[in-house]
Amino acid sequence: MSKGIGIIGAGVMGADHARTLAVHVGGAELVAVSDADDTRAAAAARANGAWRHYSDGFALIEDPAVEAVLVASPDATHVGFVLACLKAGKPVLCEKPLAPTAGECLEVIEAERRLGRRMVQVGFMRRFDPAYGEMHDVVKQEALGRPLLLHCAHRNATAPGFFTPEMSITNAAVHEFDILRWLTGREIVAVTTLNCARKGAGPLRDPLMLLVELDGGILADVEVFMNAAYGYDVRTELVCESGTVDLGRPLPNMRRFAGGQLQSFPGDWRGRFGEAYRLQMQAWVAWLVGGEPRGADAWDGYAAMRVADAALQSLESGARIEVATAGPAVAAA
Ligand SMILES: NC(=O)c1ccc[n+]([C@@H]2O[C@H](COP(=O)([O-])OP(=O)(O)OC[C@H]3O[C@@H](n4cnc5c(N)ncnc54)[C@H](O)[C@@H]3O)[C@@H](O)[C@H]2O)c1
């Protein structure tokens, strides 16, 4: 039996998820779309075989045809929608971040715990990217000895217009916090955020450099550059005791001409992580129809935002900030 999916938010990501669900994933069908802009909701619904559309996301959650919900609205709206899904007993795949602060993520963990079953998946889709998957296997199998260092870069061509200085951390760097935890299987214990003195950087204080310390002495440097101008480029090099792994970057063909060569970069994340979004959706639907849950859970969403909270404090103070450890009540979740 095909599961009825509702999507909240029909912007860049919501429309892309709607297409992925309609075209590439079996076992579920798009039945409704909601967006604050109802015209946009209607367009995304119709383009992908659904006819129900709402300007109010809470109305979509209450729709009996909607059995599970994908939240792809702006970050600050996530928690309200996720809590409403839990109240309605509907599983939810929430785009990252689960919430802009760790405190709000805790509300989700508490609500899910009260229900007594796992209901939430967080859209840290890099966990489904084949190149990151291979890097994960290298660490798990200790093929190159233990991990020592990671060098990471997260570059966008231009920051979206709605981006605030905090979002370089809460919206962009969170991907790095999650993938560092997932790759190494270690928690992040401290973070130092530095911004370079770039003239004309504007309010974003772009680019940022973060020094991330993980359990067991593993270190990572993370560049977040939201206005890198040339394209969307995500890099990770893993340095282990007896070798290194450089994250593959699927790129279009190389052109050679006039004594040079040219390789273009994707304009944004959809060109780089399309396969990861598809595999993430497929895994979520497989769980909905009776399989095992895969992917990041609410705890992972919370863990990434604990680091984000510390990174923001460090950006303000310039100091190295230790990441708050979870209290016993939370750790038991
Ligand atoms: N996983 C990833 O790689 C990735 C990449 C980009 C964005 N995201 C996340 O996806 C989410 C959406 O980002 P986007 O780039 O699509 O943004 P967007 O601005 O393109 O789209 C957001 C949409 O939400 C709608 N909206 C605003 N308030 C709403 C509300 N209260 N209820 C319903 N709809 C509302 C807007 O009208 C807009 O259509 C964000 O949380 C962002 O962090 C994730």
Residues 272-289 have pLDDT tens digits of: 999 999 999 999 999 999
Q: What is the pLDDT of residue 204?
A: 80
Helices 102-115, 78-87: crossing angle, 10 deg rounding: 10
Q: What is the pLDDT of residue 249?
A: 75
Residue 225 and residue 32: Cα distance in Å, rounded? 36
Distance from Cα 40 to the centre of ligand 1, integer Å: 12
Which are the contacts of 323, defined by CB distance < 8 A and separation ≥ 6? 187, 188, 189, 190, 191, 306, 307, 310
Question: Mean pLDDT over residues 81-104, rounded?
Answer: 98
Question: Mean pLDDT over residues 105-129, rounded?
Answer: 97
**DSSP, residue by residue, 166-202:** THIIIIIIHHHHHHHHHHH---EEEEEEEE---TT-G
Helices 130-140, 269-288: crossing angle, 10 deg rounding: 70
Q: What is the pLDDT of residue 332?
A: 43
pTM for this one?
0.95
Q: What is the pLDDT of residue 333?
A: 44
Task: Choose one of 7, 8, 12, 269 to mutate for the ligand 1 pocket test, by most ligand atoms within 8 angstroms of C-beta.
Answer: 12
Band of pLDDT at residue 295, cut at 50, 70 and 90: very high
Question: Mean pLDDT over residues 299-308, rounded?
Answer: 98
Question: What tens digit of pLDDT does each residue of 16-70 get?
Answer: 999 999 999 999 999 999 999 999 999 999 999 999 999 999 999 999 999 999 9
Which are the contacts of 153, defined by CB distance < 8 A and separation ≥ 6? 222, 223, 225, 233, 234, 235, 236
Band of pLDDT at residue 264, cut at 50, 70 and 90: confident
Question: What tens digit of pLDDT does each residue of 1-27 get?
Answer: 799 999 999 999 999 999 999 999 999
User: 3-class SS at 140?
Assistant: helix
| Ligand 1 in reach of 167 Cβ (< 6 A) | no
| Ligand 1 in reach of 15 Cβ (< 6 A) | no
Q: What is the pLDDT of residue 196?
A: 82
Question: Mean pLDDT over residues 137-162, rounded?
Answer: 95
Q: What is the pLDDT of residue 205?
A: 83
List beta partners, residue 53.
33
Distance from Cα 316 to the centre of ligand 1, integer Å: 27
Band of pLDDT at residue 327, cut at 50, 70 and 90: low
Residue 13 and residue 277: Cα distance in Å, rounded? 10
Percentage of residues of the chain with pLDDT beyond 70: 96
| Ligand 1 in reach of 77 Cβ (< 6 A) | yes
Tell which atom from ligand 1 comes closest to the C-alpha of 16. 16
Per-residue b or e along 153-163, where b marks 16 or more CB atoms closer than 10 Å to that residue's CB: bbbbbebeeeb
Percentage of residues of the chain with pLDDT beyond 90: 85
| Ligand 1 in reach of 8 Cβ (< 6 A) | yes
